[in-house]
Structure 1
């Protein structure tokens, strides 16, 4: 086993996926206490990342599943999901305010009903859309590494996806972080998703600033 390649793959994955930790933490925080939500997030993260790897490997060995000019437009996916999350947060707030006006004699204000958490395809869409930079970095690495080393790269990447999910859930369940995200997560998640989408569009030249 080539320990040098494993070390390089670990470093490459960490550098290109550091921003996913925040997004995963937000997803896990949003779905805390929701049955099956963690499984959906992990599954979506794997599906999205496998999509990134498939495109990168194909491009490295001469095939093109995704034209280069189409990559920047992937920013529309997290942008749309961010707008959806913002709308759901607004609806939840409106429902809470309406219920508060009809509170009973106990004087207890009703809790805000949180969304049920992201679906697997939504997590996959955000992961894949946020992977444009990953593809750009992975293609030349895979092209020069050869089939054997590329297989090892991919194996290490897939193992690290699981560790990334554990890290995201760990951060989301720390008392201070969990308290903060439970109060502000419904606001932070739309902002982060919209920010990621706009950043992808700007960096790709779709939106000129």
Structure 2
């Protein structure tokens, strides 16, 4: 269940890790942000399973505005620094902050919440605790896999050269998918 609901996060993590390109502090910010965002997803799912309903269902598609805003910001920064002589491959973005990664993770987690709430409802407290522990271990595996993908020579070169362009496109794309699939704006 974790893998199916988070397969898209693997690509996003690889892009974020590609942006970090050898910067250990930036890589740890990505890991921290992924855990923070996923913890928020788990919290929303647990609260939803308990019947409190953290967010009204009609609001969830509008979470897609978060990655769109972050993508537009990253695109603007890339455009502003397009002529900077950082290196031969183009501008370097120093890596996303933990809060940016967390926001993208949470905004992209509407499907997770939708799947986890009914499962947690029937699993009870002990079952939900086991699911949460397994999912948090899965986050570590996902971070390792995203880092692995970003550090493969072919992928790493592509992300190093084009990551500053890919990141805004991926973030805006994720935001649009969340908005469209969620039925925002009557789409």
**Structure 1, unpaired ranges of 5+:** 1-11, 100-108
Deviations 1:103-139 (A, max 9, x none): xxxxxx8663401110000000000000000000000
Instruction: Find the partner of 1:54 among 11, 20, 43.
Output: 43
Q: Secondary structure at the match of 1:18?
A: helix
Deviations 1:77-125 (A, max 9, x none): 00000001111111221334xx9xxxxxxxxx86634011100000000
- Residue 118 (structure 2) pairs with residue 129 (structure 1): no
Structure 1 match to 2:56: 67
Q: Secondary structure at the match of 2:52?
A: coil
Which has the greater radius of gyration? 1
> Are the aligned partners of 2:89 and 2:161 in contact in 1 as well (CA < 8 Å)?
no
**Structure 2, unpaired ranges of 5+:** none
Please give the alpha-carbon distance, in whole angstroms, between the structure 2 residues aligned to 1:191 and 1:111. 18
Instruction: Find the partner of 2:98 among 120, 127, 130.
Output: 120
Structure 1 match to 2:150: 172
> Are the aligned partners of 2:91 and 2:164 in contact in 1 as well (CA < 8 Å)?
no
Structure 1 match to 2:116: 138
What does 1:23-38 correspond to in 2, within 5 Å?
23-38=12-27
- Residue 145 (structure 2) pairs with residue 156 (structure 1): no
Please give the alpha-carbon distance, in whole angstroms, between the structure 2 residues aligned to 1:185 and 1:115. 9
Please give the alpha-carbon distance, in whole angstroms, between the structure 1 residues aligned to 2:8 and 2:74. 19
Structure 2 match to 1:194: 172
Please give the alpha-carbon distance, in whole angstroms, between the structure 1 residues aligned to 2:180 and 2:91. 34
Instruction: Find the partner of 1:93 among 57, 82, 88.
Output: 82
Q: Secondary structure at the match of 1:95?
A: coil
1:61 Cα deviation after fit? 1.2
TM-score normalised to structure 1 length: 0.85
Q: Secondary structure at the match of 1:94?
A: coil
Q: Secondary structure at the match of 2:125?
A: helix
1:208 Cα deviation after fit? 4.2
TM-score normalised to structure 2 length: 0.95
Structure 2 match to 1:76: 65
Please give the alpha-carbon distance, in whole angstroms, between the structure 2 residues aligned to 1:39 and 1:76. 25
Number of aligned residues:
187
What does 1:99-118 correspond to in 2, within 5 Å?
112-118=90-96
- Residue 18 (structure 2) pairs with residue 40 (structure 1): no
RMSD: 1.5
Please give the alpha-carbon distance, in whole angstroms, between the structure 2 residues aligned to 1:157 and 1:195. 25
